[in-house]
Amino acid sequence: MRRFRPYLRYLRAVRGPLYGALFFALIYGAATGLALNWIVKEVLPRLFEAGASSLTFVQILGYASLIPAVFLVRGLAGYFNTYLITLCGVRVLEQLRLDFFTKLQVLPLSFFSGRPAGDLISRAIADTNQLQFTLTSVANDLFKQPAQLIGAIAYLGWLAFENHDVAFLLLCLGTIPLCVFPVRYVGKHLQRRVGQLQHELGAVTGTLSENIGAAREVRAFGLEARETARFTASTSQLVRFQMKAAKYAGFLTPAIELISAVGIAATLIYVYRAGFNWGTFLSILSAIYLCYEPIKKLGAVNSELSRGSAALARLEEVFGEPVAIADPAHPVTVGRLRGDLTFEGVGFAYRPGVPVLQDVTTNITAGTVCALVGPSGAGKTTFANLVARFYDATAGTIRIDGLDIRQMRLADLRRNIAVVSQDPVLFNDTILSNLLIGRADATRADVEAAARDAFAHDFISALPQGYDTVVGERGALVSGGQKQRIALARAFLRNAPILILDEATSALDSDSEAAIQAALKKLVVGKTVLMIAHRFSTIRDATRILVFQQGRIIASGSHAELYGGTPLYKSLFDQQQTTHAAPVPA
């Protein structure tokens, strides 16, 4: 339970309903542990023992009405307890998921490298749901069940006092400590099994998520049978761990019931030999049962804590992940930057000992259209990503207008940067909303002007709902070229002084690309542009070219300078020209 203490803070926001739920739990426990036993001992004998025939109908009605009255109180208390606890649980779940999602928003991109999206989704949904259930059910049963147990023990203690027989009470309660052993045994093994179960659930979610995302490829390459086999194997593994967890969880109840039955049998022998009357005998039987029932449920609470602990361990991997890229303690406030970029001895590695950039030093003056050229994996994209602090350099300093970018607020820095990637992402919203991501306060006229610059206005206007058309998940309802032009329009609307283009025209047809290149000439005026070039045809408007090789800048200059003086650049350029000039096979 100690491990959950930091997370009990989630219950503070719902302490009103929680206190109400706990109050009704106490009423429920008292009505069950005390009132029911009292009815068995005091009311039933008056109705059925000698002399009961002299009772009037009103008296019989009065005694009989006590039974539904107790069950009414017990039922109402149980109902309000369950309702209020459910309310607390829903609120806790909401806050848990919000905190988890919020943490994901501030973690660096490196955190997501190598982590399946399905596993993170499973943690956000299944693990938070499990932890929410654990917190609320434990908060409920840790009051409700002890209240019933204390009520039943208090009744047995009263009987022992009334009959001057303390040995009777000790015998009744003697087997209770024995119930601890199966609880501890199950809890120890169940926590490990549930951890494996939660991991496998994440694997199943990941397989399903990957398959849905690759639906086109699965059909194109005839992978339906293979994917079904993969999912079958994943779910079979999940079932195996589910049954292992069920094996230990299912063992607990019969073990406690067996111990309880032995205790009850011994008690019955004792009370028979002690000569207790039948009314007292039945009330003792009821009270003993009501003693062991809470113990059984508290054993289930221990199992639930094991499940919650396993879910918590998976959530803590995210909650405990350090936020490596954050605002500085004393940020320098900046407005619109000019765009002078300076790299001073910059190095970066995604993994320790495997450098991607090494001792990169260069200066790019504001207004320069700078193309980044080199073989795949040479460090071009990483170079651009460091400017926006998607990652932090592991060595050296990056400055914009003479200011270290780590001295700026992330919002201030990124407000001055527009990014258009090779595979842009559109949200499942309207085209207008997707464009307003570029600048939230833009007017409709601003949005349409940006769309015209990107040659997107005509096809948007031709859609049934125009700018109010919903593009679907990841822009699935528009073509690749249309998606690219929407992303370009978003960058035009942002009008940031620094523009990062990762082969931004790659998905356009030749006519649209030529028009976009003309529009880009207007867009880049007065801006610093980092153009990650995979096709040399896209760098003809570059005023400067940086050549990357194995994480270093080996040359810088214009096309003419590099073609004549840099063998790597000449080789890459000639190879691509030869490829494009080769005849297309019939």
Q: Based on the domain organization, do 71 and 216 belong to the same domain?
A: yes
Cβ atoms of 325 and 147 closer than 8 Å: no
Distance CA 383, CA 531 (A): 11
For the segment 507-532, what is each residue's pLDDT rounded down to a tens digit?
Answer: 556 666 666 666 677 677 778 999 88
Which residue segment(s) compose the domain that 551 sits in? Answer: 335-416+540-586
- Inform me whether the pLDDT recorded for 190 exceeds 80: no
DSSP one-letter code for 536: G
Closest CA to 551 of 388, 394, 348: 348
Q: Report if residue 278 sits inside a domain.
A: yes
Q: Based on the domain organization, do 197 and 252 belong to the same domain?
A: yes
- Given 3-state DSSP classes, what are the helix, strand and coil percentages for the chain, each rounded to the nearest 5? 65, 10, 20
Q: Based on the domain organization, do 57 and 185 belong to the same domain?
A: yes
Given 292, 319, 346, which residue is the final one in a domain? 319
For the segment 448-468, what is each residue's pLDDT rounded down to a tens digit?
Answer: 998 888 888 888 998 888 999
| Cβ count near 7 (within 10 Å) | 19
Residue 355: beta bridge partners? 349
For residue 527 the two structure tokens come to 């801006």
Q: Which residues contact 402 (CB under 8 A, 6 or more apart)?
A: 340, 342
Q: Report if residue 435 sits inside a domain.
A: no
Q: Which residues contact 169 (CB under 8 A, 6 or more apart)?
A: 156, 157, 159, 160
Distance CA 75, CA 241 (A): 37
Please give the model's pTM, rounded to 2 decimal places. Answer: 0.68
Write down the pLDDT at residue 306: 72
Write down the pLDDT at residue 413: 93
For residue 579 the two structure tokens come to 């490829």
Write down the pLDDT at residue 425: 82
- Inform me whether the pLDDT recorded for 585 exceeds 50: no
- The residue type of 130 is Q
Distance CA 520, CA 541 (A): 9
Q: Based on the domain organization, do 104 and 172 belong to the same domain?
A: yes
Phi-psi category of residue 294: left, alpha or beta, with phi > 0 → left and psi -120 to 50 → alpha: alpha
- Inform me whether the pLDDT recorded for 581 exceeds 60: no
Q: Pairing mode, if any, of strands 417-420 and 403-404?
A: unpaired
Q: Based on the domain organization, do 344 and 387 belong to the same domain?
A: yes
> Minimum mean pLDDT among 134-138, 377-381, 389-393, 553-557: which range?
134-138
For the segment 79-124, what is each residue's pLDDT rounded down to a tens digit?
Answer: 888 788 878 877 877 888 888 888 888 888 878 776 777 778 878 8
CATH number at residue 298: 1.20.1560.10
SS3 373: strand
Q: Report if residue 483 sits inside a domain.
A: no
Cβ atoms of 162 and 44 closer than 8 Å: no
How far apart, in Å, are the Cα atoms of 315 and each of 90, 110, 320?
Answer: 18, 18, 8
Cβ atoms of 424 and 487 closer than 8 Å: yes
The Cβ-side half-sphere exposure at 571, using a 13 Å CA radius, reads 7
Q: Report if residue 103 sits inside a domain.
A: yes
Question: Which position has the higher pLDDT, 39 or 349?
Answer: 349
Percentage of residues of the chain with pLDDT beyond 70: 70
For the segment 45-79, what is each residue's pLDDT rounded down to a tens digit?
Answer: 666 665 556 767 777 777 777 777 877 888 888 88
Q: Is 462 exposed, middle or buried (CB count within 10 Å of its CB: 0-12, 13-18, 19+)? A: exposed
Question: Which position has the higher pLDDT, 413 or 64?
Answer: 413
Distance CA 172, CA 284 (A): 9
Q: Based on the domain organization, do 312 and 374 belong to the same domain?
A: no
Q: Based on the domain organization, do 311 and 352 belong to the same domain?
A: no
Distance CA 426, CA 435 (A): 9
Q: Based on the domain organization, do 156 and 38 belong to the same domain?
A: yes
Rounded to a whole number of angstroms, the CA Rg of the chain reads: 36
Distance CA 256, CA 89 (A): 28
- Inform me whether the pLDDT recorded for 1 exceeds 60: no
- Residue the block writes with tokens 């004792």: 270
- Inform me whether the pLDDT recorded for 404 exceeds 70: yes
Distance CA 421, CA 501 (A): 6
Give how many domains the chain has, as a whole number.
Answer: 2
Q: Based on the domain organization, do 26 and 58 belong to the same domain?
A: yes
Across 294-299, average pLDDT: 68
SS3 205: helix
Closest CA to 458 of 511, 421, 525: 511
For residue 283 the two structure tokens come to 């009330």
Q: Pairing mode, if any, of strands 552-557 and 544-549?
A: antiparallel
Cβ atoms of 419 and 496 closer than 8 Å: no
